[in-house]
Structure 1
C-alpha cells in the first residue's frame, strides 16, 4: 500500500470532523439491489467509520478493516461496541470460513492493488453476495470560486483529485470500478447509480476538509499551512459544494 494511502492517520480526528458522512439513501439502494436480507458485511478501508455507522444502524453485523491504526482507533470511538475491527489492508485479508452477504468500500477502492483485486473480493463473498463501492469528489459549485482556488493551488498542485485508476475518461457513461467489474469473470449485474448531494460549509470547514485530502497531505507542513491560509482568504464566508455519491454495485456469480 502506498504512503499516500496511509497518510490519513496523522489527521484522523480532522477526517472525522470535516469529511461528510453518507446518507441513508445509500443503504436503501444497496439493500434494494441485494434483493435479500443483508445480515453480514465486510468493510474495506473503513477509515473513521462513517459508512460503518450507516450499515450498523440497519442491524447489519459489520467487520471493519483498516490498515491505519490511528484511523481505526478513531473509528472505535464512533461505532457500536459489537463492530469487529481488523487492522489490515485489503491485500492482507485471507478468506476463512466466514463469507459475507456484502463487501463494501467507501472512497477507498482506488488504494487497493489491481492484481487479483476481483478474485480476492469474490472469495470474501457468499455466492450471489453483493459488492458495493461508493464515493465521489467534493467540488465547489461556483465556477469563479473554483477557478480562484485552482489559481492559488497551481504552484503547489496541478489537481487535488485522483484520476481514474484504469484511465476511463470522465465523460464515459460507465465509470471505474464499474468498467473493471464488467470485465471480471467473478461478477455480474454491474450497476452504476448517482445519489445527488449538495452541501454548504463555512470557508474554515472547507479548508478543514481540504486538510484531509491526500494531495495536500503529501505537501510539506509549511507549504500546507501557507496554501490553506491563501485559500481561506479568497473564499466567501460560506461555500456551496457538489458532493454526489457514485455507487457501483455488482453480484458475485453463483456458478463460480
Structure 2
C-alpha cells in the first residue's frame, strides 16, 4: 500500500485534469450534519491526503479555512495553482502531521485508505475539537455497462487482475455498512456514525476515461511499456463515449 499511496505525483497534472471533482451537495450534506450533530457551522478544516485539491476547493469555496495536507510535493504544487486564498498547505503524511488545531472538521477525499490503521482514529480525534466532525468520502468510477466492464476486465486480466483498492478491513462489498464506517462504529473516539450515498453518473470520451485510468494507482505501478499495452487493449474495446457510475459514499462521525 505505501508504494501505491505515493505513486500519484508523477501524474499530478493528469490527476487534476481527469479525476472528477465533488458536487456542492456534498458540502451541504457535511454542513447539515455538523449543524445537527456538532451544534455549529464548519469554519476550520484539516484535509488528509488533499492531492491536487479537488475536495479542497469545494470546502474552501464555501468559506472554510482549510489546511490541506499531502506527502507528495508535486500534488501540492498542483493544488496551489488552483486553491483560493483561505487554503494553507502542509507537506506531510497524516502520520507525520505535527499537533495542530483543534479543527471543526477533519476530512479525507478518497485518501483515508492510504493511512496507517494503527492509531488512526486517535490521531483524527486529537485534531478535532470535542464534538467536531470527521468526514470521509469517495468511491470508484466504474463503467456502467456490465458487458463493457467485462470486456475491459478480459483484456486487462493478463497484466492486472483488478484495479480496485480492496477494503482496508476486509469488509465485503455486499455488506450494508462499509469501511470506514465499520471501524468508526468500533472506535472509542466517535459516535453518531452515518453512511450516505450521493448517486452520480458521468459520461466521457473513451480517451478521457483512459486518462482517468492513467491516474489509478494499480496502473501506475505497472512497467511503462506494460501500462501502454494495457491501455491500447482497453481503448480497442471501448466505444467513442462511455457511461460511468461514480457514486460518492460518505461517512460522517462526531468526536465524543
Q: TM-score, normalised by structure 2?
A: 0.97
Aligned equivalents of 1:83 and 1:142: distance in 2?
A: 39
Aligned equivalents of 2:197 and 2:92: distance in 1?
A: 29
CA offset digits 1:148-192 (Å, max 9, x no partner): 100010011111001110011111110000000000000000000
Gaps of 5+ in 2: none
Residues matched between the structures, number = 252
Root-mean-square deviation (CA, aligned residues, Å) is 0.8
Matched, 1:63 2:63: no
Match of 1:73 among 64, 77, 95: 77
Please name the residue that 1:49 is paired with. 53
Q: TM-score, normalised by structure 1?
A: 0.97
Deviation at 1:16, TM superposition (A): 0.3
Please name the residue that 1:102 is paired with. 105
Please name the residue that 1:10 is paired with. 10
Please name the residue that 2:255 is paired with. 252
Q: Secondary structure at the match of 1:77?
A: helix
Aligned equivalents of 1:80 and 1:122: distance in 2?
A: 27
Match of 2:116 among 113, 123, 128: 113
Aligned equivalents of 1:227 and 1:139: distance in 2?
A: 17
Aligned equivalents of 1:230 and 1:153: distance in 2?
A: 7
Matched, 1:211 2:211: no
CA offset digits 1:223-255 (Å, max 9, x no partner): 0111111111110000000000000000000xx
Gaps of 5+ in 1: none
**Cα pair 2:64 2:86 within 8 Å, conserved:** no
Aligned equivalents of 1:162 and 1:77: distance in 2?
A: 28
Match of 1:242 among 241, 245, 251: 245
Matched, 1:151 2:148: no
Aligned equivalents of 1:156 and 1:76: distance in 2?
A: 35
Deviation at 1:81, TM superposition (A): 3.0
Matches for 1:133-144 after TM superposition, within 5 Å: 133-144=136-147
Bigger proportion of residues as helix = 2
